[in-house]
Amino acid sequence: MTSTQSSSESPVHGGGEYAKFVFYAALKFSKRLVCFYDAKRELDKSIFHKCTSANVELIAIESHKDISELLERDDIQTLYSALPYEYDSLELHGKRFVGTVHGIRSVECPTDKFEYIYKLSKKSQLRSFVGNLVKSRSSRKENAKKSFAKLLYKSNFEIITDSIHSKYSMLAHYPELNSENIVVFRCPYNFDKTSIKESLKSRDYFLLVSANRWIKNNYRSIIALDQLFSEQKLEQNVVVLGCGEVDFSKHVVNRDKFIFEGYVEETKLNDYFSNAYAFIYSTLNEGYGYPPIKAMEYGTPVLASSNTSVHEVCKDAAIYFNPLSISELKTRILTLVNEQSLREKIIENGFQVVEDLKGSNQMQLDDIVHYIFEIRDEYA
């Protein structure tokens, strides 16, 4: 359950949501479940109550030693984690270890020249800026590659991943991995069952999310939009969510066109997605990526990065751009604004992507659980 608990970067994160999906699906095998969580962090109340009502054994742990001692129990055969990255040195006592590796982000994208923008103090900004100058990208990549190797080459470790891209990226960077030991199951998704009438939607702003994380690359999007405002080429506003304590306002000229907020609860987040003119997903690296699907679900057109797994998720339901190029993003924004037929086509394609995902959602989730519990006849 540690995967479901909030991270230092954000209260809500993709790996945590994924872990919750797997947990609820695994409850059908509740008699075989033993769950642990970090005693130092708050556990989601709904998960706690579900464990209680389903008679799932729930254990608070304080260190990896506690987990290792737990694995010595004869009734535990498999350890599963939706975020296994910190368990590369864990003593498994010969037990099977299954983990969902959502990607090798720190290997594929170890840093960015604008990473310092997201630091909160001037001292940390300076350290980040100078660090990028002194320490090369290649050396950062090599360090990250060595770190990941400890997990990926760990004995008894079996890998689940979210995308074809992530599987073959791992095989490209770690040639000694066995392709058969990496299985791909698409991320499950919680589709909104409510219906929002089109007439109630304002559609008057561009939406950006997870803004306090440099890997999501929202700084470039903000600058692109701000330049277009200065050039008087846009009428819409911009809503930027998940800013945390990062102050983007000092980097823009047209401050009255931007609304900067922290993380919001899911209901409000859904409202923002459903009322947006467009969603800009400028991520520098993604193992899968939930946000574009949420936008498509509400008929909000998507402008998306052309890298890693994003195309695999969005298919033909996005206008793609080079996430490192502010000028290219400006071009794609103007294209979306001025080409109404293209905008309508992107929206239509988005609805089709959502329908296809809905059709396979439960099957994918069942396959994940069956694989973890080694129910191979059903999984196959």
pLDDT at 138: 85
Q: Could you tell me which residues come within 8 angstroms of residue 369 by beta carbon, excluding any fewer than 6 positions away?
A: 22, 25, 26, 28, 29, 375
CATH of the domain at 265: 3.40.50.2000
pLDDT digits 0-9 by tens, 46-92 = 999 999 999 999 999 999 999 999 999 999 999 999 999 999 999 99
User: Strand 96-100's sheet: what is its strand order?
Assistant: 78-81, 96-100, 157-161, 182-184
Distance between CA 88 and CA 146 in Å, rounded? Answer: 11
Do 16 and 5 contact (CB within 8 A), yes or no? yes
pLDDT (tens digit, 9 = 90+) per residue, 231-266?
999 999 999 999 999 999 999 999 999 999 999 998
Q: Say yes or no: 67 and 179 in one domain.
A: yes
The pLDDT value given to residue 197? 46
Tell me which residue range forms the domain holding 299. 198-359
Pair 365, 326 in one domain: no
63 & 169 share domain: yes
Judgement on whether residues 164 and 216 belong to the same structural domain of the protein: no
Give pLDDT tens digits for 84-118.
999 999 999 999 999 999 999 999 999 999 999 99
Task: Read off the tokens for 271.
Answer: 């409202």
Q: Phi/psi of residue 378, each to 5°? A: -75, -40
Question: What pLDDT, on the 0 to 100 scale, is given for residue 260?
Answer: 98
Is the same domain home to 225 and 179?
Answer: no
Residues 260 and 147 occupy one common structural domain: no
40-54, 75-89, 118-132, 348-362, range with the lowest pLDDT: 118-132
What is the reported pTM?
Answer: 0.88
Domain count for the chain, please give it. 2
- Are residues 348 and 269 both part of a single domain? yes
Q: Could you report the per-residue pLDDT of 160-211, keeping only the tens digit for each?
A: 999 999 999 999 999 999 999 999 999 888 887 664 545 456 799 999 999 9
Residues 76 and 184 grouped into a single domain: yes
pLDDT exceeds cutoff 70 at 11: no
**160 plus 284 within the same structural domain:** no
pLDDT tens string 305-336: 999 999 999 999 999 999 999 999 999 999 99
